Amino acid sequence: DTAVSQTPKYLVTQMGNDKSIKCEQNLGHDTMYWYKQDSKKFLKIMFSYNNKELIINETVPNRFSPKSPDKAHLNLHINSLELGDSAVYFCASSQMPSYEQYFGPGTRLTVT
Amino acid sequence: DAKTTQPNSMESNEEEPVHLPCNHSTISGTDYIHWYRQLPSQGPEYVIHGLTSNVNNRMASLAIAEDRKSSTLILHRATLRDAAVYYCIPRISGNTGKLIFGQGTTLQVKP
């Protein structure tokens, strides 16, 4: 059973397009996160939702918008994609914000 | 945010113990020390965490210095599957859940 799943695993698209990455967790956790890992392997948090409420919103361009339809899902929508958005995006979840986080397998986004 | 210092890379032989050090001299008194690891082409994976006392679980042991300015992750018998980047993360107190990843230590395990 996959605890935290992401779709798609790979996403190749052109500059200026709009795309979404979906994340689902079946762990019954209340908190979900999005992280970005750039080409230098640097991992940085982007957003976090707790019980569908945004609790972390790092300095991320407005083109990135998270959406949490329910506690088990946290999707990431990106408008007007740029070359610099190319990265691996990881979704994670935890029972509560202070508890250990479980990460998904990642979505590799390539913008050409 | 507490800063951490870890060696860029370490090597170990298979089935030998590995001690991965981390300095976190600016850690606050209420911050837990968390360790995560990232295997190649996978998402990060929780390893262990502690506050003041040494901690053990099925994956590893965590030894925390008495002054809490450093800690050491101990893998008792390294396997090839333990080759990964290991991150030491002082956990900011509060309820945000924010994990700040540094550069970590890349562990190579030789057969």
Contact A72, A24 (CB under 8 A): yes
User: Which segments within chain B are labelled E, that is strand?
Assistant: 9-13, 18-23, 32-38, 44-50, 55-56, 61-64, 70-75, 84-91, 105-110
Residues A56, B99: C-beta atoms closer than 8 Å: no
Work out the pLDDT band at A21, boundaries 50, 70, 90: very high
Partner residue opposite B44 with nearest CB, options A50, A98, A103: A103
How big is chain B by its Cα radius of gyration, in Å? 13
Note which residues in 21-80 of chain A have CB less than 8 A from chain B.
31, 33, 35, 41-45, 48, 50, 55-56
Q: Which long-range contacts (CB under 8 A, 24 or more apart) does B48-53 make?
A: B48/B73, B49/A100, B49/B91
Q: Looking at chain B, which residue has its C-alpha nearest residue A47?
A: B98
At residue A1, does pLDDT exceed 80?
Answer: no
Confidence at residue A97, expressed as pLDDT on a 0 to 100 scale: 82
Residue ranges in chain B whose pLDDT is less than 50: none
**Strand, helix or coil for residue A38:** coil
Work out the pLDDT band at A56, boundaries 50, 70, 90: confident
Confidence at residue B1, expressed as pLDDT on a 0 to 100 scale: 64
Q: Tokens for A8, please give them.
A: 């798609």
Tell me, what amino acid is at B19?
A: H
Contact B89, B31 (CB under 8 A): no
User: How many Å apart are CA A92 and CA A76, to the nearest integer?
Assistant: 12
